[in-house]
Amino acid sequence: MSFDPRISMITLGVADLAASTAFYEKLGFEKSSASQESVTFFKLKGTVLGLFGREALAEDAGVEEAGSGFRAVTLAHNLASEAAVDEAYAHALSCGAKAVKKPEKVFWGGYSGYFADPDGHLWELAYNPFSENDENGFMQLP
C-alpha cells in the first residue's frame, strides 16, 4: 500500500465548542448535519474542518493537553486580490477574531495578514500574485 498525500480533515482543539462553533458560523462556515454534541463538522471545498474539545482531542491522541501560545501551525485562505484580503480580514474581525497582523505587502511579493480564532488558532489571509487560484478558488502550484 502506498501513501496518497492529502489532508482529508483538519481538527482544531477548542476550549468552548459552542462558542467556537458560533464563531466559525459567523465567518460563513456551514455546520454539517453530521455534527454531534461533542464535535462540530464544517464541510469545506475539498476537506472538512472539525472542532473538538481541546482536552478530549488530547486524550484521543494520547498526549498531554498542556500548552499554549504559538503552535507552529497556521491555516491559510488564499484570495484573488489585495482588496479581497482586506475584505475577508475585516469580516473576520467583525465576527470576533483577534487581529494579529494587519494585511500588508510582504517580503515574498504578496499581501497577507493574520487573525486568531477564539482559541488562538492562526489564520493567514493572503494574495499571492505568483500563484493564481483556479475557478473553484484553490491555490494552483506549478
Distance (Å) of CA 107 to CA 11, 22, 68:
30, 35, 28
How large is the average pLDDT for residues 9-28?
96
Inside any domain, residue 115: yes
Q: Are residues 80 and 53 in the same domain?
A: no
Number of domains in the chain: 2
Residues 23 and 51 in one domain: yes
Residue 68 confidence (pLDDT): 66
- The least confident of 31-40, 56-65, 76-85, 115-124 is 56-65
Domain range holding 55? 9-61
Residues in Cβ contact with 123 at an 8 Å cutoff, skipping those fewer than 6 apart: 74, 75, 76, 77, 92, 97, 114, 115, 116, 117
Higher pLDDT, 142 or 117: 117
Looking at residue 121, which CATH number applies to its domain?
3.10.180.10
- Do 55 and 100 belong to one domain? no
Q: pLDDT digit string (tens) for 45-96? A: 888 999 999 999 988 888 888 766 677 789 999 999 999 999 999 999 999 9
Residues 78 and 122 in one domain: yes
Q: In this predicted structure, what is the pLDDT of residue 1?
A: 59
Residue 11: Cβ within 10 Å count: 15
Longest dimension (CA), the chain: 47
